[in-house]
A and B are shown apart, each in its own frame.
Chain A
Amino acid sequence: MDGFHDLGGFQGFGKVPHVINTQDYKQVFKQEWEHLAYSLMFIGADQLKKFSVDEIRHAVERLDVRQHVGTQYYERYVIATATLLVETGVITQDELDQALGSPFKLANPPHDKGRPAITGRPPFEVGDRVVVRDEYVAGHVRMPAYVRGKEGIIRHRTSEKWPFPDAIGHGDLSAAHQPTYHVEFRVKDLWGDAADDGFVVVDLFESYLDKAVDAKTVAA
């Protein structure tokens, strides 16, 4: 989904609030509740096996945009975990409201049921020129919008395979396993002159890619 979470290239933000090598990371959790975000998430994903990490990401993406902008990082993972635990029937909205003493606002329902991977194609090779498929997806997707339709070069194919996020992100345990590719793009090809020159390498699942058609071949 083209949500607020898909921030790459979004303009209007100020400076990154950090000066290099300052040590504030040494206090990993800044507030007394923050460790709960990941530990309760892992109870749902790892202990109870009620959802995948991809579904957690999608639940964060489903936070209402106004809520998303106004929440802290770990808060979004608390809300996402609560949302999935309610959706999978482990707990209820009423129980959350009772425990909180006020309405516990969860993420919005999904807009889509997800989609399967494209299978049956030969894998791509290092050095291949590929185009990111020009697709608009209502559900979970791990293709940053800034590379949609863009051409890049494959620098690496992973030796491992993982379930296709667009399927497993909706709870589809039959999701096909695919390698991902490190695809290198020129920054100028993504944002023209309104950017610093250089390269961006995006880690993309096989189903997001097509082989680039050589312009000369088309003309001939």
Chain B
Amino acid sequence: MSATVSPASTSTPSERAWALFKVLKDKELIPEGYIEQLTELMEHQWSPENGARVVAKAWVDPQFRELLLRDGTAACAQFGFTGPQGEYIVALEDLPQLKNVIVCSLCSCTNWPVLGLPPEWYKGFEFRARLVREGRTVLREMGTELPSDVVVKVWDTSAESRYLVLPLRPEGSEHMSEEELQKLVTKDVLIGVALPHVR
């Protein structure tokens, strides 16, 4: 990195991030392996496949479903899905005439252990500004057209509750195994912008 001082506008986001890293590294404030371990957790272990396992189990196991709706934190802990941003988990039950959708209008709060880190669009200005006000329109634009008798309920993650959507088990999935059902549950299904479908 050059020691020459240039105008502020010439530095890039990457250079700024690595500059902060360098200052902390030089002061020996970064524990050995800390960044690598956390990055592994963020990139691989916090995944929507975790949420898919929770939803599929709730579809096939009425007792688990009851627990999930009563105490989402305890239900997800059965799978080991706990940790930062997963301390108070609330499952939102879709009904034939109710569609739940999650947003964080103020920043980017998400149920990390169960949904994975939020995708770029979820943290973007458009989704955060528009979903609370134009839920049905935003869903339609993204590819989910809801019947007019289905009410949209948007959950703004403005405090410490961390949500996941428990969608209706789709038609045609009656004979599918729990493992097959897991494949129907995508990250978007867990956020609530998409419905599970049997292809």
Measured CB to CB, the residues of A under 8 A from B are 5-11, 13-21, 24-25, 28-40, 42-43, 47-48, 57, 60, 71-75, 78-79, 81-82, 85, 90-91, 95-105, 142-144, 146, 156, 158, 160, 162, 165, 180, 182, 184, 187, 190-191, 194-205
Contact = CB atoms under 8 A, between A and B. Distances in A.
Contacts of A43: 24, 29-31, 34
A196 B133 contact: yes
B141 A15 contact: yes
B156 A8 contact: yes
A160 B26 CA distance: 40
Interface string B78-93: 0000000001101000
A198 B153 contact: yes
B104 to A, nearest CB: 10
A26 to B, nearest CB: 9
Nearest to B122: A18
Nearest to A95: B23
B119 A7 contact: no
Interface in B22-67: 22-24, 26-27, 29-31, 34-35, 38-39, 42-43, 48
Contacts, number: 259
A17 B119 CA distance: 11
Given A8-B105, A31-B14, A198-B135, A38 B121 contact: no
Contacts of A165: 159
A32 B1 CA distance: 17
B41 to A, nearest CB: 10
Nearest to A18: B121
A81 to B, nearest CB: 7
Interface in B3-25: 3-8, 10-11, 13-24
Contacts of A11: 129, 133
Interface string B89-127: 010000000000000011110000000110111011111
A164 to B, nearest CB: 10
Q: How large is the interface on B (under 10, 10 to 19, 20 to 34, 35 or more residues)?
A: 35 or more
A194 B35 CA distance: 46
Given A40-B24, A99-B23, A190-B133, A33 B34 contact: no
13 contacts: A13-B126, A16-B142, A28-B117, A85-B24, A100-B1, A100-B16, A102-B6, A104-B11, A196-B133, A197-B151, A199-B154, A203-B158, A203-B159
Given A43-B34, A100-B19, A57 B6 contact: no
A204 to B, nearest CB: 7
A10 B19 contact: no
A18 B124 CA distance: 10
Most buried by A among B1, B20, B26: B20
Interface string B148-192: 000111111111110000000000000000000000001110000
Contacts of B130: 13, 16
- The 5 tightest CB contacts between A and B, nearest first, are A8-B105, A18-B121, A203-B159, A100-B19, A33-B17
Contacts of B14: 31-33
Contact of A6 (B2, B24, B105, B120): B105
Contacts of A184: 153
